[in-house]
């Protein structure tokens, strides 16, 4: 639950400079992806089965297979700390889509 509390704290601070819709989108995506993993015990230390998640994201969430593979790889290799900071920087820079064109 600490990560959820941290997200709420960040949300309260960020609402001053980032549109609430960005925070809502992040919360919605976290909820949706937790639902994807709900059928299996995930403790944060394991590497998630990339193929299973990629297939699900490609079918149910409108990701291309390549895009789904990239986000699963990023999550496994970099984790929430790095990605949270990368997200904050991307939002501050106004980068909705990166240079890779996903």
The domain segmentation of the chain, as residue ranges, is: 2-93
- How far separated are the first and last CA of the chain, in Å rounded? 31
What tens-digit pLDDT sequence spans the chain (102 residues)? Answer: 445 554 555 555 555 566 668 888 889 888 888 887 765 556 666 656 778 888 888 888 888 999 999 988 998 899 999 999 999 999 888 888 888 777
- The pair of three-digit structure tokens given for residue 77, joined into one six-digit string: 């290799």
Sign of the dihedral through C-alpha 23, 29, 35, 40:
negative
Residue 28 CA neighbour count, 13 Å, CB half: 7
The tokens describing 95, both together, are 């980068």
pTM: 0.65
pLDDT digits (tens, 9 = 90+) for 67-86: 999 988 998 899 999 999 99
């Amino acid at each position: 639950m600490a990560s959820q509390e941290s997200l709420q704290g960040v949300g309260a601070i960020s609402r001053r400079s980032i549109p609430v819709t960005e925070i809502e989108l992040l919360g919605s995506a976290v909820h949706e992806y937790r639902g994807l993993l709900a059928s299996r015990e995930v403790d944060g230390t394991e590497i998630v089965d990339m193929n299973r998640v990629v297939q699900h994201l490609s079918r149910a969430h409108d990701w291309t297979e390549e895009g789904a593979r990239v986000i699963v790889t990023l999550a496994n290799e970099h984790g929430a700390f790095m990605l949270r900071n990368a997200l904050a920087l991307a939002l501050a820079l106004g980068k909705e889509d990166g240079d890779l064109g996903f």
